[in-house]
Structure 1
């Protein structure tokens, strides 16, 4: 009987230790909640049956606005709605620059053809990036003709918003792409790379980390590895190496799997130079990257939550966040 009681006591002590080690209320909360706008303000599309080959412009949904993803206007609107960070996509160009555009090829959205990277900036700026958008299955193309010259370069984005922060998505897994971006940043010291994070394929991200250890560069695979290992080992307070100097994210309906959520988890990630951003609900058996786009989902976050939220609908989530967290301190710079 004494042995039985000793075992029970040891289990209770161990459980208590794990609880205290992961108690959110014993960790300080971050200073403020931050919003990241994926692609800025843009034309939403049906996500049913999406594959890597889906032309999303061909299944656009009515939006009530004319903003196009990855444009200067869409980014300005995102900041106006309350974004602290805007994500955009880049491709290397045939003339040694970087263009801001999502698609690997031009046929879906534009009146051009071929791989984006095989064209010069001058050629790309002659295209109509609104050409392929249709809201009725191809019957009409109401935005066609309005997108000429709207595809910006990386330099134009950073010059237009000199104090703003960005997540730059390199649409390539080639290590050489990191060399090109590094060279571009060296040639443009005014770009202020300290305000940039970079997501890329594993080889490109690893190479950029080697070239610029002061810059946060990561891959989706690294984020997934970080989350899986932390869910397995985080109870001990251990932060896996895959989580260091990277990016941590999870769907809002899976945060219960993050040891110490929210404050302790966020503090652990911040201690290894890794920001935390929460996305929208997803199927736990088939998790996928989705933004937190429904204001109702904000109810799953505590009133004292001060982490990050990534969204594809900043025009909805920005105002909803201001309403739910009216005491959230403003960013250092709300206007350029």
Structure 2
């Protein structure tokens, strides 16, 4: 009986040794296929005014706490997107909301008061009415003593139509700023008429993205729910090299602090995701308040030779590091 136990014990030990060896060599970095080239640079809201992130919440009026302006661009406007692409952005992110007349306005906040001279919410106005507002009206870097962009943002709120027409070949990340399934339905209907779907990615609330993905399954789409499902599935079985279906044809925004726990990070993981048409973007902080890689010091925290996507609020600082 003791001999049988010893034999079983040895078999278990050898099984575990083989299993751990398989996991290690199947996910270690030095055996991964070598990757070349520079990272994919994603400019958040174009080239926008930055602000102090300390103590920020979902209710914070970020236009009232901007840093001292270094350039004239305002977020989610065509000039800011054009500047971002000129600096070297590969993708520009923009926010959309449905208007009273069924168009998509490119604007971030739920309330117009935070940034503009308007009142109420986007859905209370037609697109032509929204274009009359000054999107730079309430920006201040000195607690309201001065408003450096007041009067300079009249007519700068674009529609999604305006953006797509102005940038017919560029890649865009479209953010649905709601959790209304109808928004996903309408965006899917709108985009289904276009011939450039491979250049577009959509993310937003769980409900609109679920509807959007059902209507246009060929377009990359992401929500908190798809991100969680995909990464948990990958953590459960990705060590085998098998890629779960929830990881395919989507986009993952991953805080860098958590990325090292992913099987095969960085190169093997990136190769696996790339093979199933999934784009990886690393973000700063906890991934909740759009923190990006905005300084040289931030970039130094990335793995050596990293070639995945990078979320940045300062494409003017980051793109030259790679373009040079």
- TM-score, structure 1 normalization: 0.87
Offset of residue 194 of structure 1: 2.2
Using a 3 Å threshold, how does the CA distance of structure 1 residues 179 and 219 change in structure 2: closer, same or farther? same
Offset of residue 212 of structure 1: 1.1
Aligned to 2:31: 26
SS in 1 for 2:269: helix
The equivalent position to 1:133 in structure 2, one of 132, 135, 139, is 139
Aligned to 1:168: 174
Please show how residues 300-319 of structure 1 align to structure 2 within 5 Å.
Answer: 300-319=301-320
The equivalent position to 1:271 in structure 2, one of 272, 275, 280, is 275
Alignment partner of 1:15 is 2:20: yes
Using a 3 Å threshold, how does the CA distance of structure 1 residues 253 and 212 change in structure 2: closer, same or farther? same
Structure 1 residues 224-243: Cα deviation after superposition (integer angstroms, max 9, x where no partner) = 33224433443233434432
Alignment partner of 1:231 is 2:235: yes
SS in 1 for 2:161: helix
Aligned to 2:256: 252
Offset of residue 6 of structure 1: 5.0
Offset of residue 314 of structure 1: 1.1
Aligned to 2:213: 209
Aligned to 1:334: none
What CA distance in whole angstroms lies between the structure 2 residues aligned with 1:140 and 1:288? 26
Alignment partner of 1:295 is 2:264: no
What CA distance in whole angstroms lies between the structure 1 residues aligned with 2:53 and 2:102? 34
Structure 1 residues 254-279: Cα deviation after superposition (integer angstroms, max 9, x where no partner) = 32111101121112212332111112
Alignment length (residue pairs): 318
What CA distance in whole angstroms lies between the structure 1 residues aligned with 2:155 and 2:219? 31
Structure 2, unpaired ranges of 5+ = none
RMSD: 2.2
Offset of residue 139 of structure 1: 1.7
Alignment partner of 1:182 is 2:188: yes
Offset of residue 146 of structure 1: 0.5
Offset of residue 8 of structure 1: 4.3
Using a 3 Å threshold, how does the CA distance of structure 1 residues 30 and 210 change in structure 2: closer, same or farther? farther
Aligned to 1:71: 77
Alignment partner of 1:47 is 2:53: yes
Structure 1 residues 29-60: Cα deviation after superposition (integer angstroms, max 9, x where no partner) = 45542111111111111112222211110111
Alignment partner of 1:108 is 2:110: no
Structure 1, unpaired ranges of 5+ = 324-336
SS in 2 for 1:253: coil
Residue 231 of structure 1 contacts residue 259 of structure 1 at CA under 8 Å; is this kept in 2? Answer: yes
What CA distance in whole angstroms lies between the structure 2 residues aligned with 1:79 and 1:144? 25
Residue 248 of structure 1 contacts residue 269 of structure 1 at CA under 8 Å; is this kept in 2? Answer: no
What CA distance in whole angstroms lies between the structure 2 residues aligned with 1:321 and 1:211? 37
The equivalent position to 1:99 in structure 2, one of 101, 105, 108, is 105
Structure 1 residues 176-234: Cα deviation after superposition (integer angstroms, max 9, x where no partner) = 112212332345x36x2221000021111111111112211221232133224433443
